[in-house]
Amino acid sequence: MIRETKAIIERTRRLGAGWQRLSLAVEDPALEHIQPGQTLLADTGDYLRENWIPVGFDSEEGVMLIEHPLGRTYTPGEVINLLGPVGTPFQLRHGVRHLLLVVLDYEPTRLLFLLHQAIKKEMAVTLVLTGIAREYPISTLPPVVEVIIGDEPETWPNQEDTLTWADQVYLLTAPMFSEERYLPLIYTLSKLRPALPEGFLQGVFDMPMPCGTGACAACMVRTSNGNLPACVDGPAFDVTQLKFL
Ligand code: FES
């Protein structure tokens, strides 16, 4: 259930040229159980709350780690009001050993918590970065992650191989490009695999989320089960269940 709490920014760290990582001491201990896929709505003084995306925890320091593109500067000691957790945790299919994370011309932050969790579970993880995702400082990632860089926004080297050996795939792109970037992948996969198991191909919708409770209809995604709010039923949806225009 979504709840209000506050957090103190313990530390800020610059990652590469365009990213920052915030260490947060969160007041509500229930948020220690936040899962990959879930986010927090932070009151940063703007009209709408900002969607803050956890990328993991530092258990030694007892802090939650949040990553952002560099924009606003935060100061250690600043207190931030939060609402969360927002959304449904990402679901890893039973028996996944090879996880493919694909970020098509978008900020990869939404998938990083899942990446770290999968590494802890000793899965083999491949991360594809195309377009602006290539600007992410990959030197901060665990060295066991295989990183593939694609020069074109929609595709990447050895695409068929990576799709063939993956046990599950998470896709991330700008929501407005989801149709033109996800549909070709369904087509490619349909040639490689006789049938796609349920949940195999997940598309992540990083929508603006003014309320986080399903009440304002700002983050609806069209699926075969009707229009569903990404802030409650997402952010990940089975791509084969999506209804494109
Ligand atoms: S943010 Fe209001 S319905 Fe999703």
Return the CATH number at 112: 3.40.50.80
Last residue of one domain, picked from the residues 52, 86, 120 = 86
Q: Is residue 185 part of a domain?
A: yes
Q: pLDDT tens digit string along 158-196? A: 999 999 999 999 999 998 898 889 888 888 888 888 788
Q: Is residue 233 part of a domain?
A: no
pLDDT classification of 45: cutoffs 50, 70, 90: confident
* pLDDT, position 245: 55
Pocket of ligand 1 (CB under 6 A): 209-212, 214-219, 229, 231
Task: Kindly state whether residues 68 and 140 are assigned to the same domain.
Answer: no
Burial class of residue 198, CB neighbours in 10 A (0-12, 13-18, 19+): exposed
Task: Kindly state whether residues 60 and 112 are assigned to the same domain.
Answer: no
233 Cα to the center of ligand 1, angstroms: 10
* pLDDT, position 110: 95
Per the model's pLDDT, the better-predicted residue between 70 and 127 turns out to be 127
Return the CATH number at 21. 2.40.30.10
Q: Is residue 22 part of a domain?
A: yes
pLDDT of 101 above 90:
yes
* pLDDT, position 161: 92
Last residue of one domain, picked from the residues 86, 115, 139 = 86
- Ligand 1, residues 39, 88, 216: which to mutate, most atoms within 8 A of Cβ? 216
Full domain range(s) for residue 37? 3-86
pLDDT of 207 above 80:
yes
* pLDDT, position 48: 87
Task: Measure the CA–CA gap between 235 and 238, rounded to whole angstroms.
Answer: 10
* pLDDT, position 73: 82
Q: Is residue 217 part of a domain?
A: no
Domain count, the chain: 2
Share of the chain above pLDDT 70, in %: 100
* pLDDT, position 21: 92
Task: Kindly state whether residues 79 and 178 are assigned to the same domain.
Answer: no
* pLDDT, position 47: 85
Q: Is residue 136 part of a domain?
A: yes
pLDDT of 107 above 60:
yes
pLDDT of 61 above 60:
yes
Instruction: Name the average pLDDT for the chain.
Output: 90
Task: Kindly state whether residues 82 and 105 are assigned to the same domain.
Answer: no
44 Cα to the center of ligand 1, angstroms: 18
Task: Kindly state whether residues 122 and 48 are assigned to the same domain.
Answer: no
Task: Kindly state whether residues 109 and 202 are assigned to the same domain.
Answer: yes
